[in-house]
Chains A and B, each alone.
Chain A
Amino acid sequence: MLTIEDLHVSIGEREVLRGINLHIKEGETFILFGPNGSGKTSLLMTLMGFSGYTVTGGRIVFRSQDITQMPMFERARLGIGMSFQRPPTIHGLKTRHLVQQCARGREIDPEALARRVNFEEFLERDINAGFSGGEIKRSELLQLMAQKPGLVLFDEPESGVDLENMQLIGKVVRRLLDGEVDALPGACAKALKCKVRTSGLIITHTGYILDYINADRGQVLFDGRLCCEARPRDILEHIRSYGYQECIKCLNEPGGLQPLEVTRTAS
């Protein structure tokens, strides 16, 4: 689904990603950890194709196409969807209208989708105008449901969300990744059959999202480099006990990216 090869990215003069290699299979969810400022958000922005993130080396392949230089809207149409952390307000653009646009002609029921994220009352509001942290998350999920991407990029789904909404968001992310977004009645005889599993790349500091989704792989991004591949829960546990210091060690070991010693974490 997604293959990143030796990706180097700079913001201005500053190199923020320094040789990233990553493969995410169809239907797989990959969890990204890493200390503040290590480049996680930059990686997502680069995958989406934002201006200001200059790829100075390597390439990105998505659905067998080299998208390294592809404009953002083409990536979106190819199936990459991103949840924004701080989306801009667009005055006069109703949430309903944007949700409809996200579907790009595919038949959707904005009311039904909005109901899933408890967002019906916001459909007539200007997009992101005065939305709270949790409301932004729900709005982003609503748009993603309408967009129905093959790969979901999600930056810190937990940030700014209360416990009750965390549950809601967790469940919706789960459904999104399970490919269960279209609830149009009669659209499909056997619901199971039309499930197209969606891939995910999710950034988390707290790991709360792990309670809701099946994520089998994770890695730590440290200073623009990936290290310590393991099961996300083990990584989380390890970071809780030892912080990110171990990652430096791991990166400095000859041969570079050694897998994390899970046995040590477990003890």
Chain B
Amino acid sequence: MKDVNLADYSFTGLERGQIADLRSLDASDKERILHAGVDVESDAASAVFMHMDQSTVHCESRDPGLELLDIKAAMKKYDGLPEYAWKLVPRDKDEFTRNVAENVHGGYFIRTKPGAKIERPVQSCLFLKADGAGQNVHNIVIVEEDSELHILTGCSTAHSATSAAHLGITEYYVKRGGKLTFTMIHNWGVNATVRPRSVGVVEENGVFQSNYVLLNPVGTLQMYPAIHLNGRGAVARFNSVIVAPEGSHVDTGNRVIMNAPETRAEIISRTITTGGTIIARGHIAGHAVPCRGHLECKGLILGGGRMLAIPELDATVEGVDLSHEAAVGKIAQREIEYLMARGMDEAEATSTIVRGFLNVDIMGLDGPLAKAIQEQMEQIDAHGS
């Protein structure tokens, strides 16, 4: 992991005022966050949240089935959220959690009503605009019993060169029979330091589905979100698509701990380095039976870079069913030639294969988000730099 010195960033003094209408953002900012999947022109969201530098600047729910508040407002309103806040992520886990705990700038508190099926996604955007800014975010998501929620989070810096640090704590609570789909797109730059710390619990028959996309460079990113399946029949699925160009250092993975019978876990990642370093982790633990988990981690090195895959399985009872599949390879010449025989030149053939490999379709995303991803995929320099 690249060393990070939090003293290099200023964690105070970069407050921002409310932005009533996000369409009033600078055109260049809009363009950047669009690449993180956030479309301010669209009204297809059930709620809209934006955090800029060190303040929540926009927070608006359009659906009576869900509550959206800035985390500080929520803490005030609910007496510090004693059941939820800092219950899954310990304040003193590491220097980043401590830094956030000491000075929370903002973040979202989202809670559904029991039984509410929120069809339109909640759109959230975490944005770093000022050079040298450090951002401390704390998010809490509560999916009440039998309710459904989809959160789209786009995280971005204002420019590809912005030097900034994003520290984000997220705690997810999926109650009995609830379903949370959490889609996150990162659009940072070579000078960005990113340290999310996320943990969730899923109760009986609950489902947690995560989609993660990182196609642009990031200076250093390290995260290892963990989901605890604590109720019978709970399910967790992670799909990640990660591209690391030169200058990127990405240390990421997913962890699922199955503590109850009939739970299932699936972790799938597709990673490509075109010159950067990727550490692709994965951990599935089975502590109750029956339970089933599969970890699939496939990587390609195109041109250069390093790929370190670390899949882990941890079983502590007889009858646990866990498997993993890790592979690092290259694009097969046979596949390129097959497509060239259909008239594609080498670059077209390569990018077609790369797109297929990353297989973002599996996430079932549509609208501007799918388009933004599509555009960025076309930019991937498959030959390395």
Residue of A with least CB distance to B358: A92
CB-based contact A90/B356 at 8 Å: yes
**Residue in B340, B346, B357 whose Cβ sees the most chain A Cβ within 10 Å:** B340
Knowing A73-B344, A98-B342, A104-B343, say if A93 contacts B356 (CB, 8 Å): yes
CB-based contact B353/A90 at 8 Å: yes
Q: Which of B332-382 contact A (CB under 8 A)?
A: 332-335, 337-346, 349, 352-353, 355-359, 361
Within the complex, the shortest CB–CB distance from A89 to chain B, in Å, comes to: 8
Contact with B along A78-110 (1 / 0, CB 8 A): 000110100110111110001001101000000
CB-based contact B358/A90 at 8 Å: no
CB-based contact A73/B353 at 8 Å: no
Knowing A72-B340, A72-B341, A73-B344, say if A88 contacts B335 (CB, 8 Å): yes
Knowing A73-B345, A76-B343, A77-B343, say if A90 contacts B338 (CB, 8 Å): yes
Residue of B with least CB distance to A84: B338
For B340, what are the chain A residues with a Cβ–Cβ distance below 8 Å?
Answer: 71-73, 76
CB-based contact B355/A143 at 8 Å: no
A contacts with B, residue count (CB < 8 A): 25
Q: Say which residue of A84, A94, A126 sits within 8 Å of B341 (CB atoms).
A: A84
For B334, what are the chain A residues with a Cβ–Cβ distance below 8 Å?
Answer: 88
CB-based contact B337/A50 at 8 Å: yes
Residue of A with least CB distance to B352: A93
* A260 contacts chain B at the CB level, 8 A cutoff: no
CB-based contact B343/A88 at 8 Å: no
Knowing A51-B337, A84-B338, say if A91 contacts B346 (CB, 8 Å): no
Knowing A101-B344, A102-B343, A104-B343, say if A72 contacts B337 (CB, 8 Å): yes
Within the complex, the shortest CB–CB distance from B306 to chain A, in Å, comes to: 23
CB-based contact A82/B343 at 8 Å: no
For A94, what are the chain B residues with a Cβ–Cβ distance below 8 Å?
Answer: 361
Within the complex, the shortest CB–CB distance from B359 to chain A, in Å, comes to: 4
CB-based contact A91/B341 at 8 Å: no
Contact with A along B38-82 (1 / 0, CB 8 A): 000000000000000000000000000000000000000000000
CB-based contact B342/A102 at 8 Å: yes
* A147 contacts chain B at the CB level, 8 A cutoff: yes
CB-based contact B359/A73 at 8 Å: no
For B355, what are the chain A residues with a Cβ–Cβ distance below 8 Å?
Answer: 92-93
Within the complex, the shortest CB–CB distance from A58 to chain B, in Å, comes to: 22
For B342, what are the chain A residues with a Cβ–Cβ distance below 8 Å?
Answer: 76, 98, 101-102, 143, 147
Knowing A50-B337, A126-B356, say if A92 contacts B343 (CB, 8 Å): no
Q: How would you classify the secondary structure of chain A's contact residues: helix, strand, loop or mixed?
A: mixed
Within the complex, the shortest CB–CB distance from A152 to chain B, in Å, comes to: 12
For B335, what are the chain A residues with a Cβ–Cβ distance below 8 Å?
Answer: 88, 90
Compute how far the CA of A88 lies from the CA of B336 in the bound complex, rounded to whole angstroms.
10
Contact with B along A125-150 (1 / 0, CB 8 A): 01000000000000000010001000
Residue of A with least CB distance to B342: A102
Within the complex, the shortest CB–CB distance from A124 to chain B, in Å, comes to: 10
For B343, what are the chain A residues with a Cβ–Cβ distance below 8 Å?
Answer: 73, 76-77, 101-102, 104, 147
Within the complex, the shortest CB–CB distance from B245 to chain A, in Å, comes to: 21
For A71, what are the chain B residues with a Cβ–Cβ distance below 8 Å?
Answer: 340, 345
* A48 contacts chain B at the CB level, 8 A cutoff: yes
Compute how far the CA of A87 lies from the CA of B358 in the bound complex, rounded to whole angstroms.
21
Contact with B along A170-193 (1 / 0, CB 8 A): 000000000000000000000000
Compute how far the CA of A143 lies from the CA of B342 in the bound complex, rounded to whole angstroms.
8
For B359, what are the chain A residues with a Cβ–Cβ distance below 8 Å?
Answer: 91-92
Within the complex, the shortest CB–CB distance from A43 to chain B, in Å, comes to: 15
Within the complex, the shortest CB–CB distance from A190 to chain B, in Å, comes to: 29
CB-based contact A92/B357 at 8 Å: yes
For A88, what are the chain B residues with a Cβ–Cβ distance below 8 Å?
Answer: 332, 334-335, 338
Knowing A73-B346, A88-B332, A92-B361, say if A82 contacts B356 (CB, 8 Å): no
Compute how far the CA of A81 lies from the CA of B340 in the bound complex, rounded to whole angstroms.
11
Contact with A along B222-247 (1 / 0, CB 8 A): 00000000000000000000000000
Interface set of B (CB-CB < 8 Å, partner A):
332-335, 337-346, 349, 352-353, 355-359, 361
- Can you pick out 27 interface pairs between chain A and chain B where the beta carbons lie within 8 Å of each other? A50-B337, A51-B333, A71-B345, A72-B341, A73-B340, A73-B345, A76-B340, A76-B341, A76-B343, A82-B341, A84-B338, A87-B338, A88-B335, A88-B338, A90-B338, A90-B353, A91-B359, A92-B356, A92-B359, A93-B356, A94-B361, A98-B339, A101-B343, A101-B344, A101-B352, A102-B342, A104-B343
* 14 additional A-B residue pairs with CB within 8 Å, beyond A73-B345, A76-B340, A92-B357: A72-B340, A73-B341, A76-B343, A77-B343, A87-B338, A88-B332, A88-B334, A91-B357, A92-B358, A93-B355, A98-B342, A101-B342, A102-B342, A126-B356
5 interchain residue pairs of minimum CB distance: A92-B356, A92-B359, A93-B356, A76-B343, A72-B340
